[in-house]
Structure 1
Amino acid sequence: MCGRFDQSQTARYYASVFGWADALYDSESEPAFNVPPGTYRPVMHIQDGERRVDDVYWSYQARWARDKVPVTINARMDKLANRYWRGLLKSGRAIVPAEGWYEWTGEKGHKQPWHIHRKDRAPLYMLALANFGGFTENRAEAGFVLVTDDATGGMLDIHDRRPVVLEARDAELWLDPSLTPDAALELARRSALPADAFEWHKVSTRVNRAGSGGPEIAQPLEDDAETE
């Protein structure tokens, strides 16, 4: 799963690295080292043929399912073809750019956070689904979720699930409105970066507090250092 991520560069930086110099922006979000659910973050998508970077609420609950399905922040890749997600898989595909994400190991009350990122330190392009329309009662009606899959390799030692991350060229295909939902799902399965593309290090438990920020949040923690 993914419950926090590091999006510590600007939206324009991520779009520029992605090759979207002509993108339209409706984003006022500041860079953040410790992004929690329930906040608005820059999301890349294509709408009416235009490349867009818009602030979208991280959490989603379909309007028609608010009494049946809880608000969620992630969507399992193996469930994307079901009734709940298939509409967004067709018309709500998006990318959330980031530097990395956080996971926790250990027992409750003594959990150790980890920062997971690409070995080459390139930006992550995490697959997402979003409703880019409006909402009536709950902001999560117009929110996004990150697509997750089973973890493999050494990443299993950190968590059994992880966000699905693609190379930029494959992420651009994911965003292509002409790509069918079935083809998009096959692309995600086939092209997800493997576990050996990533590395991770311990970080301070200050990341546990949603209001905590600053570059020190993501810095490696020495094994003999205090976590607080």
Structure 2
Amino acid sequence: MCGRITQKASPADYARGLSWPDSVVSALPEVPIDNYNCTPGAGHWIMHCMEEAPAMRELPWGYRPSWGAEKNLPVAINARIENALTSAYFRGMWKNGRIIVPADGWYEWTGERGSKQPWYVRRRDGAPLYMAALTNFRLDKELSEDGGFVLVTASAGGGMVDIHDRRPVVLAPEDAQLWMDAGFSKEQAEHMARYFALPPDSFEWYEVSTEVNKVGRSTPRMIEPLHAH
């Protein structure tokens, strides 16, 4: 999976998609986020259940443990489900750091370096995407300099390998709620991410303009099909 997503809807709309209580939804912004080019390093809206009531906030996309910074290791933006539970980078976040990143789609690139073609991937039914993610954010601790979130990714499986061999783990609303539940064990969460993510036939993808390559730019044109269907 490449590191770009879109967040078009309002935080309140994403919360309604998970059937959160009206008292929670009413406290969230109704204004659409309208970010068509969410990039690593910047802050983006996430959903969590670390308080008595579910909540949303902005966190930076990217994570590196403190010891990783000392060794000058790279900041990660994705965590592979195949080794995330055992990786020294991520295993500490599996119990209390499971969150959801709401989105409307994500971008992939094909082709050779210097002439890569961007593609946009979204649900066929137009519904929001609830992406499984991990964070080191805690309510009682200050977020570290390299703290933030990573998206959990899996093998693209049949049907999507033509654009990329990895994809984010996108969950159905009811499974997204369980993913964030601290009472849901890390083993159960891993099983869900491996076997209950939405299948490839839930999505559609098409070529889009290279305008998305420009970090800092965000416009609805970025998700318009490059060729008429």
| TM-based fold match above 0.5 | yes
* 8 Å CA contact retained: 1:29, 1:41: no
- The runs of at least 4 aligned residues of structure 1 exceeding 3 Å deviation read 24-30
Q: Which residue of 2 aligns with 1:31?
A: 34
Summarize the alignment of residues 120-199 of structure 1 with structure 2, pairs less than 5 Å apart: 120-133=125-138, 134-136=142-144, 138=145, 140-141=146-147, 143-199=148-204
Summarize the alignment of residues 60-99 of structure 1 with structure 2, pairs less than 5 Å apart: 60-68=63-71, 69-82=73-86, 83-99=88-104
Q: Which residue of 2 aligns with 1:10?
A: 10
* 8 Å CA contact retained: 1:153, 1:196: no
Larger proportion of strand:
1
* 8 Å CA contact retained: 1:26, 1:55: no
Amino acid at match of 2:161: L
State the shift of 1:99 in Å: 0.6
State the shift of 1:189 in Å: 1.1
Q: Which residue of 2 aligns with 1:226?
A: none
Larger proportion of helix:
1
Unpaired stretches in structure 2, ≥5 consecutive residues: none
RMSD across aligned positions (CA)? 1.8
For residue 126 of structure 1, give the secondary structure of its aligned residue in structure 2.
strand
% identical aligned pairs? 46
Q: Which residue of 1 aligns with 2:53?
A: 50
State the shift of 1:29 in Å: 9.1
Distance 1:200 1:153 in 2: 14
For residue 78 of structure 1, give the secondary structure of its aligned residue in structure 2.
coil
* 8 Å CA contact retained: 1:29, 1:55: no
Distance 2:23 2:178 in 1: 17
Distance 1:211 1:198 in 2: 26
Amino acid at match of 1:31: D
For residue 93 of structure 2, give the secondary structure of its aligned residue in structure 1.
helix
Give yes or no for the alignment of 1:41 onto 2:44.
yes
Distance 1:135 1:51 in 2: 19
Distance 1:213 1:48 in 2: 32
Distance 2:168 2:56 in 1: 20
* 8 Å CA contact retained: 1:5, 1:33: yes
